[in-house]
A and B are shown apart, each in its own frame.
Chain A
């Protein structure tokens, strides 16, 4: 029932026996069943599963947006000027009424970080994602890929204990997605944030993560936990030409396919 704020030793994020159900007019629909996971500090973890399996529900619970019906979530303790967890959403991810810079500063503003430090940290993140020149622009003047970079900069500016990413590249075109994956990999190599990356793309999971968690059909539970056997850095060409990549994505598909065929009750 509770969200513990003390991290378990050796884990940046831990969930144990998290259960959730949605109430509807026709009764309760179970969404998550006894989901347990732990992610080590600095680890890049991907979460895949059939659509409607509760991936986003789980992420919202981990982010503290939703109270689980049962189970516990442990996040790193909140420190001054630092968020325990920051979320990068899919689709609408920026406030259209704020400039790019104000969007990136948002998390820091909510944290109560004093103004000079706030602008310094936001500026650093904006430079890192290559959008400093657009600091005074409004989101509608940017492309969707640029807006997503703004929201990544906003998350990283809060120096989060865990970065929770909810299919952030799902609505982008293929080429933009590859470029943003590259950028995210570079960011991760440099800073080593702990990341939980929800995606429906097997390729994306294989290319980005250290470890892939596979969820079952609804009600979701973690049915497989597979380390990614690919060396880093993972340039697009190198990954695609690596025979282990094909074998690995095929293995992920084996895990997923059975879930897709099973009718949900």
Chain B
């Protein structure tokens, strides 16, 4: 218990120490504040942007894209991953395709997506969905394949048909792996959405950073990065919380 508290203290102290060090460097003039603003300046900018509503609006836009895109990608990925895990023939048919498409950097597909879907929300949701789809799919499939055959045997011995095996064995048994996929995917979703917003968007954190670059507002660029980091941290914490709620048997 004491070790745990010490871990938590370290986890909070190390970023604070880094920021304090950076602040010192700026104040003593080692870092040129025109190029690298002090953390206090960035925080001030953040506060100001929050007051004007600029920051909350852009964060909300990005968060909405991530959440919707995540659902759009994860739900079919889990369904297909379960089928591929359970059925040898589905796996044989789809695995070559999956292996071929999986390593393509999804942001490289973005121009094509814009071409087909336009520059609006549809293209943003699609790129997020696409970026997590294969990660969740492969982890789900691996989760089913790793399941001991004994579980399926028990289910069948008690009269479970195809759908019941799906719902009472494959899905709950693969959930730990599914969560691994979702957590990895969350990182990718964040990377891809900010990237996509840099390339072509009229709102979102990426757009904020890009516009700041165009007007040479370095403190705003740093603010955008800070917000992205915070979002990543919150998203991970949220998924950890959800995992504990959904998988009480793993605790």
Instruction: Please name all residues of chain A whose beta carbon is closer than 8 Å to the beta carbon of B15 when the two chains form the complex.
Output: none
What are 17 inter-chain pairs, A to B, with CB distance below 8 A? A63-B157, A83-B159, A86-B158, A87-B154, A87-B157, A89-B154, A95-B151, A95-B173, A97-B172, A106-B168, A107-B158, A107-B159, A110-B155, A110-B159, A138-B248, A139-B249, A140-B249
* Shortest distance between the CB of A96 and any CB in chain B (Å): 6
Interface residues of B in 222-251 (CB under 8 A from A): 247-249
The CA of A86 and the CA of B164, in the complex, are separated in Å by 17
Q: Check B150 for interface membership: any CB of A closer than 8 A.
A: yes
Q: Out of A86, A91, A111, A140, name the residue touching B157 (CB < 8 Å).
A: A86
Q: Check A57 for interface membership: any CB of B closer than 8 A.
A: no
Write the residues of chain B forming the contact surface with A, with a CB cutoff of 8 angstroms: 148, 150-151, 153-160, 164, 168-169, 172-173, 175, 247-249
The CA of A110 and the CA of B164, in the complex, are separated in Å by 8
Q: Out of B150, B169, B249, name the residue touching A138 (CB < 8 Å).
A: B249
Chain A interface size range: 20 to 34
Instruction: Please name all residues of chain B whose beta carbon is closer than 8 Å to the beta carbon of A63 when the two chains form the complex.
Output: 157
* Shortest distance between the CB of B179 and any CB in chain A (Å): 13
Q: Say whether B154 contacts A110, CB under 8 Å.
A: no
Q: Say whether A65 contacts B150, CB under 8 Å.
A: no
The CA of A99 and the CA of B247, in the complex, are separated in Å by 11
The CA of A154 and the CA of B157, in the complex, are separated in Å by 12
Q: Say whether B173 contacts A97, CB under 8 Å.
A: yes
* Shortest distance between the CB of A138 and any CB in chain B (Å): 4
Instruction: Please name all residues of chain A whose beta carbon is closer than 8 Å to the beta carbon of B164 when the two chains form the complex.
Output: 110
Apart from A64-B157, A92-B148, what are 18 other A-B pairs with CB-CB below 8 Å? A65-B157, A87-B157, A92-B151, A93-B154, A95-B169, A97-B175, A97-B247, A97-B249, A98-B249, A106-B155, A107-B158, A107-B159, A110-B158, A110-B159, A110-B160, A110-B164, A154-B158, A158-B158
| B156, B158, B249: residue with the most chain A Cβ atoms closer than 10 Å | B158
The CA of A91 and the CA of B151, in the complex, are separated in Å by 11
Q: Out of B151, B153, B169, B249, name the residue touching A65 (CB < 8 Å).
A: B153
Q: Say whether B158 contacts A91, CB under 8 Å.
A: no
Interface residues of A in 95-114 (CB under 8 A from B): 95-99, 106-107, 110-111
Bits for A180-201, please: 1 = Cβ < 8 Å to B, else 0. Answer: 0000000000000000000000
Residue of A nearest to B173 (CB): A97
Instruction: Please name all residues of chain A whose beta carbon is closer than 8 Å to the beta carbon of B172 when the two chains form the complex.
Output: 95, 97-98
Instruction: Please name all residues of chain A whose beta carbon is closer than 8 Å to the beta carbon of B155 when the two chains form the complex.
Output: 106, 110
Interface residues of A in 75-90 (CB under 8 A from B): 83, 86-87, 89
Interface residues of A in 38-96 (CB under 8 A from B): 63-65, 83, 86-87, 89, 91-93, 95-96
The CA of A6 and the CA of B211, in the complex, are separated in Å by 78
The CA of A138 and the CA of B251, in the complex, are separated in Å by 10
| B153, B159, B164, B175: residue with the most chain A Cβ atoms closer than 10 Å | B159
The CA of A138 and the CA of B247, in the complex, are separated in Å by 11
The CA of A139 and the CA of B172, in the complex, are separated in Å by 14
* Shortest distance between the CB of B64 and any CB in chain A (Å): 32
Residue of B nearest to A164 (CB): B157
The CA of A93 and the CA of B160, in the complex, are separated in Å by 15
The CA of A98 and the CA of B173, in the complex, are separated in Å by 10
Q: Say whether B168 contacts A111, CB under 8 Å.
A: no
Residue of A nearest to B169 (CB): A95
A110-B160, A138-B248, A158-B158 known; A95-B168 Cβ under 8 A: yes
* Shortest distance between the CB of A223 and any CB in chain B (Å): 27
Q: Say whether A89 contacts B153, CB under 8 Å.
A: yes
Q: Say whether B158 contacts A106, CB under 8 Å.
A: yes
* Shortest distance between the CB of A46 and any CB in chain B (Å): 20
The CA of A111 and the CA of B164, in the complex, are separated in Å by 11
Residue of B nearest to A158 (CB): B158
* Shortest distance between the CB of A5 and any CB in chain B (Å): 13
Q: Say whether B249 contacts A96, CB under 8 Å.
A: yes
The CA of A97 and the CA of B173, in the complex, are separated in Å by 7
